[in-house]
Amino acid sequence: MVQRNGYRDRVWETRAGSVELRIPKLRKGSYFPGFLEPRRMAEKALTAVIQEAYIQGVSTRSVDDLVKALGMSGISKSQVSRLCAEIDERVTAFLERPLEGDWPYLWIDATYLKVRQNGRIVSVAVIVAVGVNTDGRREVLGLDIGPSEAEPFWTAFLRKLARRGLRGVKLVISDAHEGLKAAIAKILSATWQRCRVHFMRNALAHAGKSGRRVVSAFVATAFAQNDAESAKQQWRRVADQLRPKLPKLAALMDEAEPDVLAYMTFPSQHRAKLHSTNPLERLNGEIKRRTEVVGIFPNEAAITRLVGAILLEQNDEWAVQRSRYMTLETVAPIPDDPIIGLPPMAD
């Protein structure tokens, strides 16, 4: 028989506010409710990253303040190791899980974080891949870290996804990262959609401050067309109209046409989500928000730990959503049509 020895007060912090609880004290053993897990997993990851930085002597005053705000005055290396091992095990299992079924749409985006390497502070690319499967559900498919974004880096990243079972990809949406287009053709045999938002930023840089609004409205008329052929014809008309006064912009439009308009060959119900990497914007914002607290990571493993935990949390959130990201009726009929093949590479 368990005998109580009074209670201790505990404040339970939730997203809806604070709840005052009374937890029984036991004369023998202890009792702690499972739902009072003091931090969610990504918050544990954040703690582990800061602790590791603190131990390795790379903390700043702001990190030190945060450590104190989390209620820690000091921590041993063995405690850090235990916490890190717990998080790493779950993150690794998530990032290396087999990918089942077909994934017609794949979004890839890069964010840049600072890390210490051999006594220097360097910037590394953190790549995140998100896909939609034939059930219309979104999932985080992969994470990788690299010093550059050249073709070998992208090829290795896509090969890892393929080895885990990625297949059936029809369209890959990303910014114009060097080497990615060639890697997509080599590994996935899929179409590449150049992020329309990023393209427009590049295009308007050639328009001058006074002409940006007019040029933006001109180019938008191509995006407003109902089918791929009409969009291409309007795109070329706009480029020809701009050519006399803005030859560099017109040349950029000529070069980018097949990549910026690739999404127009896919179902009209999907196009609002296919023309850019905007669907990853909220996720990238959360990654930036949490990693800014750390500033400079002590090593790449710490980046994987924190960003991987954030991605795992987001994936769980998507899994329990009632509504699909794309409806089954619109995902099912995506055709294997030659018109959706990758446009020829320029020599």
Give the pLDDT confidence score for residue 327 in this predicted structure. 81
Q: Would you say 147 and 127 are in contact if contact means Cβ atoms under 8 Å apart?
A: no
Phi, psi dihedrals of residue 75, rounded to the nearest 5°: -155, 145
Instruction: Tell me the two tokens of residue 193.
Output: 């959609």
CA 124 to chain CA mean position, Å? 15
Cα 8 from Cα 23, distance rounded (Å): 5
Strand-pair category, 4-14 with 17-26: antiparallel
What's the pLDDT at 146?
87
How does strand 138-146 pair with strand 120-132?
A: antiparallel
DSSP structure class, residue 69: H
Predicted local distance difference test score (pLDDT) of residue 235: 97
Sign, Cα dihedral of 189, 190, 191, 193 = negative
Q: What are the per-10-residue average pLDDT scores of the chain (347 residues)? A: 62 53 64 55 65 50 55 58 75 95 94 92 94 94 88 93 96 90 91 95 90 93 96 96 94 96 94 93 88 86 90 91 81 56 40
pLDDT attached to residue 333: 59
3-state helix, strand, coil in the chain (%, to 5): 50, 20, 30
Tell me: the pLDDT tens digits for 189-215? 999 999 999 999 999 999 888 889 999
DSSP character string of 11-22: EEEETTEEEEEE
Give CA–CA dist 307/302, Å, rounded: 9
pLDDT averaged over the chain?
A: 82
pLDDT of residue 339: 43
3-state SS track over 227-253: CHHHHHHHHHHHHHHHCCCCHHHHHHH
- Distance CA(34)–CA(337), nearest Å, equals 52
Closest Cα to residue 280, out of 95, 150, 108, 80? 108
345: CB partners within 8 A, 6+ apart: 181, 182, 185
At residue 175, the 3 state secondary structure works out as coil
